């Protein structure tokens, strides 16, 4: 399966400055309206809305995100809320819980079902954060790209000063 396309501003792939600018401009033309991005969807519960705002705040600098991405961020907010709920159950009941075997009527220790729930929602959260380019690797690529751009701009300024 092909990898999801990552916005140009998050890519570390070596391309010419002109090609990078052309692709960023093309992405900006496709982005559309961003006016609702910082407003959580109405269908979320209050704790999920708080998580949505917590998640979207550091993403607002990404110019490739638009109103269409609200649902992905809402899915992430819901998944994180469910992870927190599952974590509370794990803390409350522990990693292992007692379960009665229906055949033998003996009590056995089994893994807390909340652990499986946590893993499920963690996968949903990670998949959707990756879809909008906010996995840990995407953030590190973005930081590297910003650093490279700053160095490139300094070099261009220096060279243009030498040229006269």
Domain hosting 139: range is 33-159
Give the model's pLDDT for residue 17. Answer: 80
pLDDT in tens, 7-48: 666 666 777 888 878 877 776 666 678 888 889 999 999 999
Give the model's pLDDT for residue 33. Answer: 80
The answer to the question of residue 119 being in a domain is: yes
Give the 3-state secondary structure of residue 109. strand
d(CA 28, CA 12): 18
Give the model's pLDDT for residue 63. Answer: 73
Give the model's pLDDT for residue 30. Answer: 63
The answer to the question of residue 164 being in a domain is: no
Give the model's pLDDT for residue 115. Answer: 96
pTM, entire model? 0.67
The answer to the question of residue 2 being in a domain is: no
Q: How many domains does the chain have?
A: 1
The answer to the question of residue 120 being in a domain is: yes
Contacts 24+ apart (CB under 8 A), 80-88: 80/51, 80/55, 80/121, 80/125, 81/45, 81/47, 81/48, 81/51, 82/117, 82/121, 83/118, 83/121, 83/122, 83/125, 86/114, 86/115, 86/117, 86/118, 86/121, 87/114, 87/118
pLDDT in tens, 93-148: 999 999 988 888 899 999 999 999 999 999 999 999 888 776 666 656 655 555 56
The answer to the question of residue 53 being in a domain is: yes
pLDDT in tens, 53-104: 999 998 887 777 888 889 999 999 999 999 999 999 999 999 999 998 888 8
The answer to the question of residue 152 being in a domain is: yes
């Amino acid at each position: 399966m092909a990898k999801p396309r990552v916005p140009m501003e998050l890519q570390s792939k070596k391309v010419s400055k002109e090609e990078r600018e052309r692709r960023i401009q093309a992405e900006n033309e496709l982005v559309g309206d961003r006016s609702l991005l910082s407003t959580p969807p109405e269908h979320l519960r209050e704790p999920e809305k708080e998580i949505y705002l917590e998640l979207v705040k550091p993403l607002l600098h990404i110019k490739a995100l638009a109103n269409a991405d609200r649902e992905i961020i809402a899915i992430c907010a819901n998944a994180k809320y469910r992870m927190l709920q599952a974590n509370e159950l794990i803390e409350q009941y522990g990693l292992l819980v007692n379960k009665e075997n229906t055949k033998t009527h003996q009590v056995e220790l089994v893994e807390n079902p909340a652990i499986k729930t946590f893993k499920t929602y963690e996968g949903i959260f990670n998949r959707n954060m990756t879809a909008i380019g906010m996995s840990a690797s995407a953030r590190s690529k973005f930081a590297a790209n910003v650093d490279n751009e700053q160095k490139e701009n300094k070099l261009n300024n220096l060279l243009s000063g030498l040229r006269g």
